Structures are given as C-alpha cells and as structure tokens.
Amino acid sequence: MVFVEPHGRSLAMPRPNGFEPERDAATAVRVAAAGFTVDEAMATLPGLYGGKRWNSRETGAPYRYRYMAAGDEALTLRRSQMTGFVQGEITPDDDYIVQWIDAGSSVVDVGVDDVQQQLHQPLLFPPDREFVSTATDYDQRLVHPNRNLVHDVAAERYALTSGRLQFQYRQVPSAGAVLRWRESVSAASRALGEAGINSLLWHEATRDVAAVFLRMYRPHADGLRSALQQPWNVRIRGAIEYIRPRGSATHGRRRRSCRRPQRPRPAGRLPTGDRQDPHGVPPRRPPGLRPP
C-alpha cells in the first residue's frame, strides 16, 4: 500500500536583507508493504516498478516479504526484503535507481548481460530500457533520485544541458566513489528522519546524493565528446552550449554574404574560354603560339 502525505510545513530561508521567502512544500512519499504469501507479494511489488510478467515462489524457508520507502518526489530511500524467489520485468520511470544487496543473490538484465550482483556493490539499473531481474532470499537497498533532480544538478555543476544524459549502467564505481555514496545516502537518511522533507537540510542532502551519483556513474550528453565531460572542462562545455544553437544559422549567413555578385554579361559576349566572334569567326592566336 502506498501512502502519500499532504503538503507539510514550509521552511523559511533567511536572507541577508531579512527577507525570508518560503520554499514550496514537498509531498512526502511513504510506502509500507509486508506479507507472507506469494499472492500478497505479487499484488504489491510489480506495481512499484511498472512490472510485467512477474512471478515468485518459495525457496524452502517460510515465505515472507517486506518493502519500505520514504522521501519525496525528488528522492526516495527504499529497502526490499524477501525470503523467496522473485523474477520480473522492470520498466524505466521518472527515477534513476541505484541498488545493492546485503544478503542473498540477484541477477540483473537476465538474457542480455546477465549481471551477477556482488554483495554491498552498488549497481545502476538500466535507465533507458526494460529489463528482467531475479533475486533470491535477498535484503536489497535502493535509492531513487528523480531524473529532473539529476539533470538539474548536472546542468549546475557540469554544464551538461544538451541532449539526453547517457549512463553506462555496468560501470563499476571505484572504492572511493562507493564510500562517498554511502556517506551521502546516510546523510540524506539522517536529514529525512531528523528534519523532514520540507527542511533545507533535506533539500541540500538530495542534491548531494544527485551530485555523488553523477560522480559515481559519469554521464555522457548526446553530441558532446567524452573528453568534454570532465569537470575541469565546464567552461568549454558552457561555451559550446552557447554557440551551438547559433552556429548553423550564423555560418549560413556568412557563406551567403561572401558570395561574389554576378555581373551582367554584355550582350553578344560569351563566357571566358568559349569566346569567339559573334559571327562565328574564331579569334586570331598570337604569333608563335601552337594550337593545343
């Protein structure tokens, strides 16, 4: 069952001049589901991921599942647990999904890449296509940053504003990137529990999660070479983004303006190379010049 809380209290953001505008209140998202039968699980879990052709079964121990989520439309922190087996097709939605398992086993992109998940290792779900995933007796953590949040942070910090962001979901993050990711997610969890979704602390935490996500899975924007994606080339990318929409029109105007005007040809005069007397008599060659 999914519970959506009403708008909460806004947090005043002090300014040097004393003016304190209110931020728009966010809408809380809270999900809590649990059960002890396959039918209960299949009535709940597929709907959370636009699921198709899901199935589940017991694995020997008593079957049970539990699913929890908390956050807002920008970021949700989730946990999924099951004693049993589940398989299903997942459809991309408005979020990017980074997940890892602390127990059990899981295979992502079954029948295509067949990625066997490693314990405690974050893995980005394929963000732009449907895929099949399986999991057995698992304890799974999931972080759902909204695509709009990620793209906003990408534009702010890396000037990636052109085209769709592309991510290599099989990219293995470095140990340092994973550590920074865990710290950022933990800080977001504390901000959610202590200050709530309408606090400045939560707002900053969500943007930090998005920034760390972009460092862990470096994106590529359509039309930009990979070398320009590096953070130190942010000014160059900004210049390219400024010039690109104007380049084709300006280039066309310059080419047209550089064309030499055509002078009207006098009556009876033929183009150079074909000159001859209007009456059909060829011109005389200078003395000593052999014919070709």
pLDDT in tens, 171-217: 899 999 999 999 999 999 999 999 999 999 999 999 999 999 999 99
* Percent of the chain residues past pLDDT 90, beyond the cut: 57
Task: Give the DSSP letter of residue 197.
Answer: T
DSSP string of 91-123?
---SB--EEEEEEEEEEESTTTT-EEPPTT--E
149-160 burial string, b = 16+ CB within 10 Å, else e? bbbebbeeebbb
Is residue 61 a contact partner of residue 35, using CB atoms and an 8 Å limit?
no
User: What's the rounded mean pLDDT across residues 41-50?
Assistant: 92
- For the cut 80, the answer to whether the pLDDT of residue 20 exceeds it is no
- For the cut 90, the answer to whether the pLDDT of residue 52 exceeds it is no
Count of CA atoms in the C-beta half-sphere (13 A) of 64: 6
Report the distance separating Cα 225 and Cα 26, nearest Å: 37
Report the distance separating Cα 139 and Cα 141, nearest Å: 7
Q: Out of 13-27, 90-104, 225-239, which region has the weakest mean confidence (pLDDT)? A: 13-27
Question: How many residues in total does the chain contain?
Answer: 292
Q: How many CB atoms lie within 10 A of CB 107?
A: 17
Q: Which of 68, 109, 71, 112 is nearest to 92 (CA)?
A: 109
- For the cut 80, the answer to whether the pLDDT of residue 123 exceeds it is yes
* Degrees to nearest 5, angle at CA 203 with 45 and 34: 20
User: What's the rounded mean pLDDT across residues 216-245?
Assistant: 56
User: What's the rounded mean pLDDT across residues 80-92?
Assistant: 97
Query: What does DSSP say about strands 52-57 and 64-72: parallel, antiparallel, or unpaired?
Result: unpaired
Q: Which two tokens stand for residue 155?
A: 């534009």
User: What's the rounded mean pLDDT across residues 52-66?
Assistant: 95
Q: Out of 45-49, 105-109, 244-248, which region has the weakest mean confidence (pLDDT)? A: 244-248
